Amino acid sequence: MAIINVSIPFRLIKQIEDYSRIVNEILKHNISFNILKFSTTSSGINLLLEVPEDKTKEITETLRSNDIQVDKKGRVILDEDKCIHCGSCISLCPTDALHFTNKDKVEFYGNKCIGCLICQDACPRGAISESK
């Protein structure tokens, strides 16, 4: 599954129905997907979606033709040479993708990562970066 970040700029939101526009556009394609995160900020509505890898292109094109911005998000990468196993990232990870092993080493499960990137600026060794 791929992660995409979808957003409608605030200026395009005129009425309450616009909030469901993103979801409705994708539903038209009969694709199952996961909403990882939904947020409204001063810049607009943002959704973090997990979609099937092979459908990413189709979804991106539909959404873009409806003035909705889409960019593909990376998950994080843990550079094990830089990591000093402190754990500054672990309490921040909402899915336990970053966790301690039973030997108290920091371990990263890429398939659990939802690309929220909350951990990225918390690593004091710069060991966490976003995959491209």
Partner 1 sequence: MTKTYKEINQKIKSGDAVVVTAEEMIDIVEESGSKVAAEEVDVVTTGTFGPMCSSGAFLNFGHSDPPIKFDHLWLNEVHAYHGNAAVDCYLGVTRKLDKRPYEYGGGNVIEELVSGKEIRLRGISDTTDCYPLSEVDTYITIDDLNQAILCNPRNVYQKYDVAVNSTDRTLYTYMGKLLPNFGNAHYSGSGCLNPLANDPDFETIGIGTRIFLGGGVGYIIGHGTQHNPKNGMGTLFVKGNLKQMSPEYLRGVNYEKYGTSMFCGVGIPIPILNEGIAKKTAIKDEEITTEIVDYGIPRRDRPVLGKTNYKDLKKGFININGKEIKCSSMSSLYYARKIANELKEWIEEGKFLLNHPAESLPTDTEFHPMRQTSEIEFVKDLKREAVICYHDCDIKVVAEKIINQNINHIIITDRHNKLKGIVTSFDITKAVANNEKKLNDIITKKVITTTDNEPVDVATRRMKKHEISALPVIDDKNNVVGIISAEELM
Positions that interact with partner 1 (CB under 8 A): 84-92, 100, 103-105, 118, 121-122, 124-126
Burial class for 88, CB neighbours closer than 10 Å (0-12, 13-18, 19+): middle
Tokens of 117: 């990137």
Identity of the residue, 12 or 23, whose beta carbon is nearer to partner 1 in the bound complex? 12
Cα torsion 54, 115, 97, 131: sign: positive
Identity of the residue, 69 or 88, whose beta carbon is nearer to partner 1 in the bound complex? 88
DSSP element (H, E) containing 131: none
**Shortest separation between residue 95's beta carbon and partner 1, angstroms:** 11
**Shortest separation between residue 90's beta carbon and partner 1, angstroms:** 4
Through-space distance between the first and last CA atoms of the chain, rounded to whole angstroms: 15
Identity of the residue, 65 or 101, whose beta carbon is nearer to partner 1 in the bound complex? 101
**Shortest separation between residue 8's beta carbon and partner 1, angstroms:** 20
| Cα 1 from chain centroid (whole Å) | 11
**Shortest separation between residue 29's beta carbon and partner 1, angstroms:** 35
